[in-house]
Amino acid sequence: MTWREYHEATKHTAESLRRARSPLDWGNMPDPFRHYEGVPVLDLPADPPVPGIPALEVLRGALGSTPALDGPAFLSELLFYSAAISASKCVPSTGYRYALRVNPSSGNLHPTEFHFVSRGVAGWPDGLYHYRPSAHMAEQRATGEIILNRATHPAPLVFVLTSIVWREAWKYRERAYRYCLHDVGHAWQALSLAARAMGCSTFARGHFDDDDIARACRLPEDEWPMLLIEVNGAPIPLREPDSAEIVWHAGRPNRLSMVEIPYAPIEGIRNATRLAAGCIPGPAPMEEPLPRPQQITLPPPASTPRGFGETARARRSALDFAGGEQSLSLPQLSALLEAASTPFSADFACTRLVELYLYVHRVDGLAPGVYRYWRELAGLEQLRTGDQRVVAAGLSLGQDLAGNACVAFSMIGDLDRAAHIYGDRGYRYVYFEAGAIGQRLYLGAEALGLGATGIGAFYDDEVHRYLTISPAQGQVVYHFAVGYPISDPRLEA
């Protein structure tokens, strides 16, 4: 199977939804928490300092600072503001309570696991750890010098984000691989922006030998390595690295479901996007599409003092938006688009692969219509005029929130160009980028006092027809909505 076959096979159409209609097997729902049982578990100190730099400044690329901390407190702060539990919801009719995290996830199923390798972090033994968000602790899977990949050394911290695709496939079946990639993109930016807010830089690596990393981290068969993220910077408290031999605890991964149902297209895309030793593509940049003159130049972005720490932990997906009169200002839209456009730091980020199309419903000074955002010019080109609320909701599988928002987005990924540069592996990178943009929009919206929701479900080819884009120009990979959230009675904290 190629990326193209997988992508075609997992498009939503009215017909595909009819065929897929079957009740969820709640008794077999995967546990959203992975534990490695039987390993030492290290405390991450409670109440780490709050990164106070304004979130919008971090989104613009500014570096925050961190008071001098020891290693455990540093790790605690980084994870508390990127991957920890930050709220819970309770379903009033059943009393069923569940956790929400700093990083969002399609269906709140959380396929992404955070592992990290530490080397020379003061007060923290060198080794391989798995983050346990349910208790804000680190499971020590090995001590000693773990070599992941020569290129990643000598960063004192290297995160390995993995996906447990079954968690998403339980609900979303074949299409689940797409959502896992989005979730990795969100988690990447959640981590990377928290690191920036603390004064550290990150670099993400998507090109690696998958089997090599899986072996180095002794990953179980259901966890697939997706992204390595190196964290560097003066705020990391350092000491000389240990030269100790590796001692493995490894641990027994908990069982997530009674039965796992395999999906052939997921195995197919997994194999298509896998890299093996010796075939790691070097990025060969291709010309980006030339910007066309825009019709509307955006004003300078709005700013707010809301701090990063508060913003990251308050971020939530809106259940729906108040569809009344309240609108966004143009400087607020400008701030969101700027947040989405700040360059990424990754080995697959030499060229941008995702473009934003906007369904503008209520933005002061901007007529309702469809617009394309030209990043290089910070401008908008109007493609269609008129009320887009019914269309935006309809294209998003009839989800009202895309029509009740002030602005909804189609993210158009240049899948062909990605494949030309990176081979089938490029499929992952387009989705990582879309998820990363989504995370920036979530945080930007929250900082501005707005709400946002990622939307993974849409009628693919109908979006293309409506936007009059051919597959060669790109394909829709993600929808997103920003507006004034209605209150969610299930939310507890």
Positions that interact with ligand FMN (CB under 6 A): 100-101, 104-108, 179, 182-183, 186, 316-317, 399, 453-457
CB of 348 to ligand FMN, least distance (A): 19
Smallest distance, ligand FMN to C-beta of residue 433, A: 13
Smallest distance from ligand FMN to CB 439, Å: 8
In the bound state with ligand FMN, the residue whose beta carbon lies nearer, of 91 and 244, is: 91
Structure tokens at 135: 């208790």
3-state SS assignment for residue 98: strand
Closer to ligand FMN by CB, 54 or 485: give it: 485
Least Å distance, CB 374 to ligand FMN, is 25
- Dihedral of CA atoms 362, 363, 367, 368 in degrees, nearest 10, equals -30
Q: Which is closer to ligand FMN, CB of 383 or CB of 457?
A: 457
Least separation in angstroms between CB 201 and ligand FMN: 25
The nearer residue to ligand FMN, 104 or 133, going by C-beta atoms, is: 104
Joined tokens for residue 260 = 């796992």
CB of 217 to ligand FMN, least distance (A): 24
DSSP string, 176-198: HHHHHHHHHHHHHHHHHHHHHHT
* Strand stretches in 222-338, DSSP E: 224-232, 247-248, 252-253, 296-297
> For residues 493 and 487, what is the distance between their CA atoms, to the nearest angstrom?
12
Select from 353, 362, 312, 307 the least CA-distant residue to 332: 362
The smaller minimum CB distance to ligand FMN, of residues 104 and 403, is found at 104
Beta strands in 255-378 (DSSP E): 296-297, 354-360, 369-374
Nearest-5° angle of CA 266, CA 10, CA 345?
70
Work out how close the CB of 107 gets to ligand FMN at its nearest, in angstroms, rounded to a whole number. 6
Separation of alpha carbons 56 and 302, rounded Å? 9
Q: Between residues 101 and 205, which has the closer beta carbon with respect to ligand FMN?
A: 101
Nearer to ligand FMN, 71 or 438 (CB): 438
